[in-house]
Structure 1
Amino acid sequence: MTVLMILIAVIGVISYATLPREANPDIPIPKVLVTTAYEGVSPQDIESSVTMKIETELSGLKGVKEITSTSDEGMSTIVIEFLPDIRVEDALQDVRAKVDLAKVELPAGAEEPKIREINIADFPVLIVSITGSISPVRLKFIADELEDAVEAIPGVLNADVLGGLEREIRLEIDPDRVAAYGLSAAELLDRIRSANVNISAGGLETPGTRFNVRVPAEFTDPREVDRLPLAVRGGKTIYLADVATVRDTFKDRTSFARLNGADSITLSIQKRIGANILEVADRVKAVLAEARKVAPAGVRFEVTLDQSDDTKLMVSDLENNVVSGLILVVLVLVLFMGWRTSLIVALAIPMSMLLSLALLQAMGYTLNMIVLFSLILALG
């Protein structure tokens, strides 16, 4: 019996130390999200040319509880909710098959529909706001560097930068000049598209060596586009600069972020399913500490959301409840039943907790909000 108790204690302590901590459990929700971007198109046209075409194909799915859709400017969003007994993997496969059938009916300018499942564990565990009295371009560059550093952390699934300026090379065509030279906007776009490519020219073999030949032709500077030849009229070469203006500017902003009334850039961080939220949060904060050292004066990094704090609090509550429950039970039993009986019960409380933790580890569970609440409730 003594050996068994020692074995349970050792395994339980090891399990407690190694069990991954996370805020929310990985609960499979039978919901699938389909988003299709079609920039520059009104909500009415999005609904008729994209949303309704996809919905028509999705209506034949089995096990669907509800389909809801939203058509915004430049974006179609469809949420398919399945019955609880449908596996998420099967739902994703069926939705992909139906969306593939609808692709042939979508407009040529529409982007590839994106399909993903909705999972509670995909919500961000950390949100960092970056503010400073520097140019928005410089602030965006700092945020992008921080994004790369955070995504390299083990356990981090994804990091998204929101509210920043994104560079865009914009082509402003003069329709009068295009018509005067006998050209069309479609010809201009085709010419730019065909010139902005890298071409593989095969291989070059020498005795004992083989080289891959590649012809780089992608534009690296907006000024290169100005000198792109389009056609010859009257013995004179017509360049893109003769019929259009190339501007190095920024995309129209689709998201804004503010902190205490000042413009900021937000970095939203997601962790991988099963990763320890406490370890991930500590590593992200270590990266933030290094970023603060090299950032320009006036740039601040503020953590505005940290789900690891809630997890730490619940783990601390569990530990406090175990200790306080043990002390109270022992005191009551000592007063009324003596030391021997109180010692047996005193050992039963931590042993039951350690055995539970060992079983959780063996079954592949994590110490999340639901598990911690259940343990605290059972202990009470």
Structure 2
Amino acid sequence: MSRKRGVIGFFVHHRVAANLVMLAMLLGGALGIARMNVQFFPSFALDVVSVRVVWSGASAEDIEQGVTNPLEQKLRSIDGLKRMTSTSAQGIANITLEFVEGSDPVLALDDVRQQVDGFTSLPADAETPEVSRVVRYEPVARLLVRGDLDERELRQLVHRFESELLLRGIDRVEVSGLAQQQISVEVPAERLQGLSLSLDQVAERVQGMSRDLPAGILGQQDSARELRSLEQRRDPLAFESLPILSGDRVQLRLGDIATIRQEPREGQLRLSRDGRSAVEMQLQRAESGDSLAAARVLDEWLAETRPQLPPSVELEVHDESWQLIDERISLLISNGAGGLLLVVILLYFFLPARVALWVAIGIPTAFMAALGVFWGIGGSINMMSLFA
């Protein structure tokens, strides 16, 4: 009697090979589950650059004619541009540039910055354009910090929490409820007269010496790096050392003639809860991050931080987005286990026990192999892949 040929015939006569293949499928699935990212939506490329210009007090028509339309004409010549959309509203212009798939995001951002920096027709009262690459983040949870603290103490506490969470692996933390800080520089008129300086000259000197400027791209393709000149001051001490006058023997700094303070801007919305000051921190993960891993980081940090806080300070977690994907994973596992049990029971009615067992084992083995392949091609566990 001749042996059957083909894949099935081979595994019928080589049982060890079939067992090895099944073991490889199970190990591949286990590796995929352990290393695959868990997120709410699947990853997708987002090659988008945004240009934002603020012109306070201007109408939407003035914004369109004086800012949006001229900038659009300047930006149309950028290589790799797929689509450009713009919005002109009162006091602000937004231009969004979408590039073709596969474009180098660093080079695209630098091309847009060069075109915007070369645009010299902005209205005199318009602020410096802000050019940034749009990066997609997904929420993990919101953390509310509240307590009987003054604004300075609450700010320091929130900044400490932010640094700790970022160091532990949270990709991004957005803080809302803290008033934006501004640097105020007060120069007495007597000192200006004694130095033969005007307030406009001091302001021009401060603006010219405290700026972050792009300096082009170094390298090509994967090794490309963006160069910037980082000179912008961030705190009062840094502004105090800014040179105002330089001579052969004497160098006059801003701190020698001015009073410099850092203070919150007026008229900003502040949060409160139960009559106490509050700040909300939104924890987010990057596109390549893992929502469940970020949730574990948050739980561990809360378990360590809460016992060390004063009694007047509370940490309240809400809007935990990661629970949605966790609940759906649990639902899928419970339904899959129940379905497998029903399949096994039905197989025992119509097949011998040994054959029914091996058929039942083949079902989860096939799922594990599919998960291994899915991880190998760059997939993730998300809402779409779960239901698929």
Normalised to the residue count of structure 1, the TM-score between the two structures is 0.72
- Partner of 1:170, secondary structure, is strand
Structure 1 CA distance for aligned equivalents of residues 265 and 322 of structure 2:
35
Q: Give CA-to-partner distance per residue, 1:78-97, whole Å, 9 cap, x none.
A: 22346xxx215257745642
The answer (yes or no) to whether the contact 2:182–2:264 under 8 Å persists in 1 is yes
Q: Give CA-to-partner distance per residue, 1:304-336, whole Å, 9 cap, x none.
A: 232221221122122212211110111122234
The answer (yes or no) to whether the contact 1:22–1:276 under 8 Å persists in 2 is yes
- Which one of the candidate residues 34, 47, 51 is aligned to 2:68? 51
- Which one of the candidate residues 331, 338, 343 is aligned to 1:324? 338
Change (3 A) 1:88 1:72: farther
Aligned length: 337
Aligned to 1:129: 144
- Which one of the candidate residues 50, 57, 62 is aligned to 1:34? 50
Answering whether residue 85 of structure 2 is matched by residue 67 of structure 1, we say yes
Q: Which blocks of at least 5 consecutive residues in structure 2 are unaligned?
A: 1-17, 212-232, 246-252
Shift of 1:143: 0.7
Shift of 1:151: 1.0
Change (3 A) 1:327 1:242: closer
Aligned to 1:160: 174
The 5 A counterparts of 1:204-283 are 247-252=261-266, 256-257=270-271, 263-283=277-297
- Partner of 1:53, secondary structure, is helix
Q: Which blocks of at least 5 consecutive residues in structure 1 are unaligned?
A: 198-217, 231-238, 375-380
The 5 A counterparts of 1:1-380 are 1-29=18-46, 32-36=48-52, 38=54, 41-44=56-59, 47=64, 49-60=66-77, 64-71=82-89, 73=91, 75-81=92-98, 86-87=100-101, 89=103, 93-94=107-108, 96-106=110-120, 107=122, 110-111=127-128, 113-119=130-136, 122-154=137-169, 156-171=170-185, 183-190=197-204, 247-252=261-266, 256-257=270-271, 263-374=277-388
Structure 1 CA distance for aligned equivalents of residues 107 and 255 of structure 2:
48
Change (3 A) 1:161 1:55: same
- Partner of 2:127, secondary structure, is coil
Instruction: Specify the code of the residue in structure 1 equivalent to 2:86.
Output: T
Change (3 A) 1:183 1:128: same
Structure 2 CA distance for aligned equivalents of residues 253 and 123 of structure 1:
30
Shift of 1:291: 2.7
Shift of 1:63: 5.7
Aligned to 2:6: none
Change (3 A) 1:101 1:33: closer
Structure 2 CA distance for aligned equivalents of residues 219 and 339 of structure 1:
74
Cα RMSD of the aligned pairs, angstroms, is 4.1
Structure 1 CA distance for aligned equivalents of residues 64 and 258 of structure 2:
33
The answer (yes or no) to whether the contact 1:128–1:268 under 8 Å persists in 2 is yes
The answer (yes or no) to whether the contact 2:192–2:199 under 8 Å persists in 1 is yes
The answer (yes or no) to whether the contact 2:113–2:131 under 8 Å persists in 1 is no
- Partner of 2:384, secondary structure, is helix
The answer (yes or no) to whether the contact 1:177–1:242 under 8 Å persists in 2 is no
Q: Give CA-to-partner distance per residue, 1:116-139, whole Å, 9 cap, x none.
A: 1353xx133232121122212211
- Partner of 1:306, secondary structure, is coil
The answer (yes or no) to whether the contact 1:128–1:301 under 8 Å persists in 2 is yes
